[in-house]
Structure 1
Amino acid sequence: MNRHIFALQQVARRTISSSGRRLENQVPQKQKMFQEDNGMPIHLKGGVSDALLYRLTMALTVMGSGYVVYELVKAAFPQKKV
């Protein structure tokens, strides 16, 4: 029984550690890009995807704040029952 568990552990360890795809370390390039002083805010240095995510976040924040104000006003002035 222990032999089967030991064999299973070896197979699992082998499949995890020996992936066929090697990835290049991109941290130095990203550090260089984000640390250069070019006057851009850090949250926009990632390119188009960062700009889109920023705009989407701002739009959701503004819409959410507007909805909260709307609900507060609606709660402050309840409808009269007929």
Structure 2
Amino acid sequence: MYRHILALQQVSRRSISSAARRRLENKVPEKQRAFQEDNGMPVHLKGGGSDALLYRTTMALTVLGAGYVVYELVMAAYPQKKD
């Protein structure tokens, strides 16, 4: 049992220490500048076209869902007559 734990420790140490590091540019400062500038836009739309598309989709689904709930409530309030 102890031998298995030691083997697991070696494997985990080896995979972490030998991992190749990716050189990525840090984009956080430019994103902070874009989101903090005062241009009159709400924060949830400052991300660009994809944010606007997500916002519109969410609002459309919300309106459709609310309409469906009202429809179902009306149908439950006035049940169909059974012949």
Question: TM-score with structure 1 length normalisation?
Answer: 0.83
- Residues 1:10 and 2:47 are matched in the alignment: no
Q: Give the C-alpha shift of residue 18 in structure 1.
A: 4.3
Paired with 1:37 and 1:77, the residues of 2 have a C-alpha distance of 52
Q: Give the C-alpha shift of residue 23 in structure 1.
A: 3.4
Deviations 1:5-61 (A, max 9, x none): 223213213324543234333222211111011111100001111011001100100
Aligned length: 82
Task: Read off the aligned partner of 1:26 and give its amino acid letter.
Answer: K
Q: Which moved more, 1:9-18 or 1:32-41?
A: 9-18
Q: What is aligned with 2:52? A: 51
Task: Read off the aligned partner of 2:7 and give its amino acid letter.
Answer: A
- In structure 1, list runs of 5 or more residues that go unmatched: none
The share of aligned pairs that are identical, in percent, is 78
- In structure 2, list runs of 5 or more residues that go unmatched: none
Pair 31,78 (structure 1): closer, same or farther in 2 beyond 3 Å: same
Q: Give the C-alpha shift of residue 64 in structure 1.
A: 0.2
Paired with 1:56 and 1:63, the residues of 2 have a C-alpha distance of 11
Q: What is aligned with 1:37? A: 38
RMSD: 1.9
Pair 24,62 (structure 1): closer, same or farther in 2 beyond 3 Å: same
